[in-house]
Structure 1
Amino acid sequence: MRNRPESASDLSQGQNAYDRLLNEIRHGTLPPGARLREVDLAARLGISRTPVREAIRRLEADGLVEHLPRQGATLRRLSYAEVMELYEMRAVLEGTAARLAARAASELELRELAGINAEMTASTNPEDIVRLNRLFHAALVNTAKNRYLQRAIAAMGRTLLILGRSTLFDPARIATGAQEHEELLRALQNRDGTAAEAAMRTHIEAAHRIRLRQLREAGFLDSHAHEDGGDVPI
């Protein structure tokens, strides 16, 4: 039997399913190693299997899903080496974005960044703080005005979703994160690209340390993982 062509409704539902699954991955509802069964997901999301299949294909293209023998589509687990490499690349890419933003950002864009960070500092709601932090970083990347850098950061960001909940859900990280944003903003306002890049790298490295501590406390970073690069069930 020939597969019927996808309708506009399928495509719209596929986008919706993709967005919802991404959100579940971001919040840790779908953890690494979770099996993505089309029938189960279709029933849970209240749609047919066709858009679910399309959403899973897109997640696989993003590098978030792999097909394992006897399991099928499964949310990837990242190795210890991959976690290290991701944060190294994040520091490089977002550090570059900060350096470019110091040159290219308009005064209006800098005021917008300052406003987002002020909201983040004033908030006591962890969900809002995480949302505002995500907005701050996205706005900063936009001010760099380099579409190729934007695409590279977006692709890396999708892989980072496998790590689950933001490190900003750690209470100790909230205050320091906002302070690091302030250092970055001062460098941007002074049009100091070198200082802006250094401030962003410091910010990302601090988040990296928190992430590794969380994984270590959860028992995921043992000596075996360091020695052979084995899977880290994040």
Structure 2
Amino acid sequence: MESGAIFNRYSLAEQVERALREEIITNRLVPNQRIDVTHYANKWSLSPTPVRDAIKALEAAGFVHVSPRRGVNVAELDEAALREIYEIRIAIECTAIRRACETVPERVALDALANYRLAGEKEGAARDAMLMEIDLVVHELALEYCGNQRLRKIMSGLNDLVRWSRLSVIRNLPQAYDTTLPEHIRICEALCERDGERAAMEMFSHLSNSLDRICKFLGDANKNQNRTDQTVRA
């Protein structure tokens, strides 16, 4: 969104909230960075009111922190926040994949499995690109074919937080997509076999393992940062 952009369809506050949310998710605004309400009001030729309303919505969604002393700052994706996100994902997606086993078209499930296997056969940059492209396919299938509108609606409210964690943390994990490939294949195999209980078990294992890998990565990063800080002080 550039200065002078035309706002329509949604209320001004909704449009500003969407724009700021995208700035945060794509890391143009980084964790702990201050958000200056006046700056964005001037940038987008608006009064401060819709920007403040947008900030309230972002705070409720978990993207920013507001305090009397520090003002508005981008929230930090720390271990506690990620655990909360993944706890909700586990509850929703395990149920969704179990239900999807009953309704997903056979061809759709087989195509997804074939693509995961094909990605595993590729090498180098082509492998990395395809793994990144299909990383969320089985998760999307679970929600698309779960047959439960409320599950989909709840997950849609979480999707931006998932995307934020993916762009901010997950992609920095060593071999992030290679590690999850066999887990995705096992979920797809259960989906193709219409084995709902196995699919839910595999989804639970995958999301739990992903959370463990993320927390270990963050813990190691914090230890390295502490050692660096100690060296600098010495």
TM-score (norm 2): 0.72
Could you give the per-residue CA deviations for residues 25-44 of structure 1, whole angstroms, max 9, x where no partner exists?
Answer: 2333323322221233356x
In structure 1, the residue matched to 2:194 is 191
Distance 1:40-1:114 versus aligned 2 partners, 3 A rule: farther
Distance 1:53-1:81 versus aligned 2 partners, 3 A rule: closer
Letter in 1 for 2:83: M
Give aligned pairs, total. 214
Identical aligned residues as a percent: 24
In structure 2, the residue matched to 1:48 is 45
Larger radius of gyration: 2
Q: With CA pairs under 8 Å and 6+ residues apart, which has the higher RCO, 1 or 2? A: 1
Shift of 1:99: 0.7
RMSD value, Cα = 3.4
* Aligned mate of 2:182, from 175, 179, 182: 179
Shift of 1:76: 2.5
Distance 1:117-1:219 versus aligned 2 partners, 3 A rule: same
Shift of 1:219: 0.8
Letter in 2 for 1:56: I
Q: Which runs of 5+ in 2 are unaligned?
A: 1-5, 226-234
Alignment of 1:214-233 (within 5 A): 214-219=217-222
* Aligned mate of 1:138, from 129, 137, 140: 140
Q: Which runs of 5+ in 1 are unaligned?
A: 1-6, 223-234
In structure 1, the residue matched to 2:230 is none
Letter in 2 for 1:47: W
Distance 1:52-1:129 versus aligned 2 partners, 3 A rule: farther
Distance 1:193-1:59 versus aligned 2 partners, 3 A rule: same
Letter in 2 for 1:96: T
In structure 1, the residue matched to 2:228 is none
Distance 1:74-1:175 versus aligned 2 partners, 3 A rule: same
Shifted more, 115-124 versus 26-35: the winner is 115-124
Shift of 1:9: 3.1
Separation in 2, partners of 1:125, 1:27: 23
Alignment of 1:202-221 (within 5 A): 202-219=205-222
